[in-house]
Amino acid sequence: MSHSNVAYQVMWNRLISVVEEQAQALVRTAFSTSVREAGDLSAGVYDVHGQMLAQAVTGTPGHVNAMADAVAHFIRRIGPSNIFEGDVYITNDPWEGTGHLHDITMVTPSFHNSQLVGFFACTAHIVDIGGRGFGADAASVYEEGLYLPIMKFAERGTVDQTLMHIVRGNVREPDQLVGDIYALATCNEIGHRRLIEMMEEFELSDLNGISDFILDNSRRATLERIAALPRKSADGVLTVDGFAAPITLKVKVTVYEDRIVSDFTGTSGLDKKGINCPLVYAKAYACYALKVAIAPEIPNNAASLAPFEIEAPVNSIVNAVHPAPVALRHIVGHFVPDAVFNAFDQIVPGLVPAEGAGCLCNFQVSLRPRSDAPAPEHARRSEVLTFNSGGSGARPEHDGLNATAFPSGVMTMPIEATEHAGPVIIWRKELRPDSGGAGKQRGGLGQYMEVGAREGHEFDIQAMFDRVDHPALGRRGGGAGAPTTIAQDDGTKMNGKGKQFVAHGRRVVMAFPGGAGYGDPKQRAKASVMRDLARGYISNDTASNDYNLNAADIATVEAAIAKGDDL
């Protein structure tokens, strides 16, 4: 039967709610804290050709937009004649999945009345995949963990137990990983059930009509936004720490009538260590940057992403090919939007934010019984991964967000969940005053963290930080954010990246970077400066030196704080 545009709009909204339920099922059932607490996942529904029709709101742009390309690889690898009802497919291929071995992507074909009508896909970051562990230390992808090519996790409803034995035999946290795999399969199944309920309600035999409606409208709306932009080209440059030497992202953004091309020619080449980024992941974040700048309210799908094109030389750091080490591909990938914004700001001024912390401030702690003296009986081995954020860059009309991940949107993990995962202690976790760059709009604050182990344990910490030597730079006269620092509590300096030993009784003290400011600090409203001072976001010196707040106003704030009054 034919349907009106109104009916199709209702179905479209229903599809978005279906994939959001799919994602929430994964959050509720996953074993890894990276999924349960940080939301490092994605979920989506696809047509029979592998084109993404709708994505869940919950999830990261890197996962979602990379996964947008993945389902077509699954169809090609499995083969249309080998796709059966009850199948579930799996991979962690960095180049045909979402960029590194620590992401498991699972795809489930959806059948209605014995006919294939589409696919559900989901991705989750898992805590351990074997190999060297999550970190930048590997020299090739072969060292980074267990590789699962696109294959069947289940055929016609029967799980491949041989595959499960191989997985269990190669990872440090087998129960956790196998639990996550089943959670991924289950969330796809929940999406499938809701889809079939919708199809029966609207008497659909296939998704062809709704697919055409979604993709045509999304393409048209996106092209209208692009057509309204000036036909211009501009270069953006961003230099960050890298592993042993700085790396530069260079991008030329060119606006055409019907597309925007981001060309990364001139970007640094491959790094010897695992911070290289496959093109699929760099593309995911380049597309995201432009989409949020010009068409944020247009739903994310194959058609709304298609006009954003990316070009990059093979074996540049944003187009790493096999067997490059790519475990920390998110570090480079999360800086891609700032590089793109540095170019786009010259094309459409006053629209994009200042630079922010960029990549997540993650670290993984590998705990074990102390080796310098007899360890207590309760001491045990454990892997604990925690996701944390610096500050985001100030926006043209708003301050940056404190300790908030942009562009990934991954949530900071609560201390309780982190400490529950293993014998680790978070001694300190608080906002970092004066870390946000000064500006008419202030950059978001970073945070302090201090981590140690419970009595009887020593540990290795895998640092995955950047902006130690290259803090976020302000826009339109705004100041830079504060840089990252990391050291042991006895003052021993540590590296921003790599696995490093921490002896029994020692702690690691970290300060995560702030976002940069936007606009001249002297133009910041006095009330905003006084409020920042009252909240402890800035010090008296910063209020006076950067914002010209006079002694009388500072005294007024101090008096209000003493009385417990709110400014």
**71 is a domain residue:** yes
- What's residue 565's pLDDT? 79
State the chain's maximal CA–CA distance in angstroms. Answer: 78
**287 is a domain residue:** no
- What's residue 58's pLDDT? 87
What pTM did the predictor assign?
A: 0.96
**52 is a domain residue:** yes
Total domains in the chain come to 2
Where does a domain end: 186, 219, 252?
219
Neighbours of 321 (CB within 10 A): 14
- Which helix (H) or strand (E) segment is 187 a member of? helix 174-201
- What's residue 244's pLDDT? 94
Judged by DSSP in three states, 293 sits in helix
**271 is a domain residue:** no
Strand 260-263 vs strand 308-311: parallel, antiparallel, or unpaired? parallel
- What's residue 564's pLDDT? 83
- What's residue 369's pLDDT? 98
Instruction: State both tokens at 396.
Output: 């043209």
Where does a domain end: 167, 188, 219?
219
- What's residue 59's pLDDT? 87
Judged by DSSP in three states, 553 sits in helix
Q: Measured between alpha carbons, how far is 274 from 333 in angstroms, rounded to an integer?
A: 13
Instruction: State both tokens at 218.
Output: 């999304």
**165 is a domain residue:** yes
Task: Single out the residue of 540, 566, 564 nearest to residue 552, CA to CA.
Answer: 540
Residue 186 carries which side chain, given as an amino acid letter? T
- What's residue 412's pLDDT? 87
Distances 221 to 53, 283, 296 between C-alpha atoms, Å: 15, 21, 11
Task: Single out the residue of 466, 243, 509, 519 nearest to residue 357, CA to CA.
Answer: 466
- What's residue 336's pLDDT? 98
Q: Could you state, in chain order, the average pLDDT of each consecutive group of 10 residues for the chain (567 residues)?
A: 84 95 94 88 96 93 92 98 98 97 97 98 94 94 98 98 98 95 97 97 96 97 97 98 97 98 98 98 96 94 96 98 98 98 98 97 96 95 95 98 95 92 97 98 98 98 98 98 98 97 98 98 97 97 96 93 82
Residue appearing with tokens 């990391």: 486
**515 is a domain residue:** yes
- Residues 396, 402, 408, 410, Cα dihedral to 10°: -150
Q: Measured between alpha carbons, how far is 21 from 14 in angstroms, rounded to an integer?
A: 11
What length does the chain have?
567
Where does a domain end: 196, 219, 242?
219
Rg of the Cα atoms in the chain: 24
- What's residue 81's pLDDT? 97
**537 is a domain residue:** no
Residue 169's domain spans which residues?
A: 5-219
Instruction: State both tokens at 453.
Output: 């182990």
- What's residue 2's pLDDT? 65
Q: What are residue 58's phi and psi, to 5 degrees?
A: -70, 130
**94 is a domain residue:** yes
